[in-house]
Amino acid sequence: VLHVGYALAKIDEAEALETLELLREAAALGAGS
């Protein structure tokens, strides 16, 4: 994560994939509602 030329944080790949999985699950629940 870059801000005004500096790196503030590094993206955690595993957490990113887990968040996407949660998003897909919630969206799938939405499709059934």
Partner 1 sequence: MKHVDEYRDGALAKGLARRIAAEARPDRLYRFMEFCGGHTHAISRYGVEDLLPENIRMIHGPGCPVCVLPMGRIDDAIRLARRPEVTLLTYADLMRVPASNGASLMKAKAEGADIRMIYSTLDAIAIAEKEPHREVVFFAIGFETTTPPTALAIRRAQKKQLRNFSIFCNHVLTPAAMQAILETNEGVAIEGFVGPAHVSTVIGMAPYRRFAVDYAKPVVIAGFEPLDVIQAVLMLLRQINEGRSEIENQYRRAVTESGNAKALDEMADIFELRESFEWRGLGEIPNSALRLRENYWEFDAERRFSIVTTPARDNPACECGAILRGAKRPQDCKLFGGACTPETPMGSCMVSSEGSCAAYWAYGRFRQHERRKAS
21 binds partner 1 (CB under 8 A): no
Q: Which residues pair with 3 in a beta bridge?
A: 6
- Identify each DSSP E strand in 1-33 by its residue range: 2-3, 6-7
Please, what is the minimum distance in Å from the beta carbon of residue 20 to partner 1?
A: 6
Rounded Cα distance between 14 and 7, Å, is 19
18 binds partner 1 (CB under 8 A): yes
12 binds partner 1 (CB under 8 A): yes
Contacting positions for partner 1 (CB under 8 A) = 1, 3-6, 8-13, 15-16, 18-20, 22-24, 26-31, 33
